[in-house]
Structure 1
Amino acid sequence: MLLICGAVGLALFLFLLPACQGVPRTNMSSLQGRIDVEREELINRAFHTKPSRLKVVGRLEKNETLQTMLCRWTGTDMPGTERILSRIHWNVTLPEVLLAKATGGVLLLGSIGYLVVRLYSGQEISSVTLAVSLFALAVFLFPTLLLEWADKRVKGEIREQVPIFFSIVQALVEAGMPIQAAVKNTARRFDARLGWELARLEVEEKRYGNWRKALEEMAYRWEVDALISIALEINEAVSKGVSVGGILAAQVEEQLRQQEDEASAYMNRLSIRLLPFVILLMGVPLLFLVMGPAFMSMKMQL
């Protein structure tokens, strides 16, 4: 059974290996074929997309029904994964994530089946078999855990950069610059993730019709409370014709206060976590220093 599982895993590896895939044939002999190839490469470079060398990924991208089935079988949240991939901006697509999880699922099912067969046959389970099962479980869970870790990290970056970014916007607005121009100018010079995201609003503005709608949709896509609050306040202030400077000042002050509270709470939790190490590293030497002379006198008396 173990040999069968190994053969299945090797077959999947060789099938999915990019070097084993044939090079797609294009009609390069004609002028129209060369024009089509160059046009496709230009579009891919423009939208920062790189075609996968795996044929099975290309088939998955064209078959939405199969993607839905794989999401249901592997327990993948399809809309949530797509939102995460749109936020972290990795050169990874949803079909590639599904393919990785499906490969891990096949290995996990094979290892579990092998364990069940050995248990029912009365054979002992070796440590190698358990290690293989744990490795298959890690392969199955790794894509989801990696995406969630990366998404949490970039959300934390956005949350930390919101007060700094909009404090600059507030200064420009109070100097007389319109809010849209202030955000655009700040985004061009703010070399961080929030600046990069807000710089893309010029492209998304054409998609949503106006800049304020694009800002609101971008805030909801990132799911950061501080950014959503500021975007809603800006939209409401602009629609009512109210000055945005005071609203931005209040929001920035509130976000800074929240960050200070989070930092103090984190330091309190960290001090509690370090308390056992402090007791171990300082309490034991102090115990010997205090009790050592007493033990030495008792030994001399004996």
Structure 2
Amino acid sequence: MTTNPTTTDTFRKIAARLTMFRPQIDLTQYFAGPDPNVRLYGEKPYIRHQLEKYGVAAATTTLDGVTFLPKNWDELIRQLRTAKTPDGFDAFAEGQSPEKSSHWALDLSMAATIGKGFREIWRPTLSDRPLSTRDLPGRHGFGLGRDRGQWSDGYSSQFGKDPQPQDITSLHFAVAPDRVNVHIDETGFVFEGADGALTVGPNFAHHAGNELWWKSNPHPHLPDWAIEHIDLILPNSANDFSRLGLSVDMYRRKDLRVRVTGSCGIFGGFECSGTVSISGTHDLLGSKR
């Protein structure tokens, strides 16, 4: 029996994130309902089957997100164009916008997008982590950092320096008359500069390699499992632009995930390492944790 897509973790996470905008975006008001005759052959079979039965489909990951058969799709485009952050800033950048000049890098990132593409604009925020002498210039052998023992930054970047690292993910909408997809890209790369102009940052390289080329393109000689469960690790802000490698979901279900990661540093010697991470939820005390 197929689970109703709107009860899945993928749908709930995306729906919760859409409540952060002003006004809040409620996807359900744009659902056209099921269509047993839907023929979207570009979609994975299990996505197509959900669309036939429910009119909406939830993928196993937020990277593939939620797809649905739309009604009033032009009204959804209008809402995305006018959506604001709680601080009153524009929430999304539109690819090939009729109202703004062309942005070649943004438009290039929309190459695999059906219909109209909208990317959430990432705005950096200051960390609450207290300043440290490790933050001073010269800590790699010049000035106050001279000869002081410390972790290798290239190595320690795998484990995170800030107890509350910045969220660098971003929503991506693809809106067309026959279907809408909304998913969460793992590395936000469209951000607003100090002068208010949109800028495509260096995280675009990771996005293009892992999420556009590896995840979005067909690889006929590889099983679907490999594409869905393996992520490429390319230089990006989460690893200080210092590592290359692979991350593999060895086991994944709703309440448990086991991931094995192996990567090598690209600066200061060919240092490699591997990690195993286990995450999940339980309700041993009557509430999920």
TM-score band (shorter)? Answer: under 0.3
Higher strand share: 2
Return the TM-score normalized by structure 2: 0.26
TM-score by length of 1: 0.25
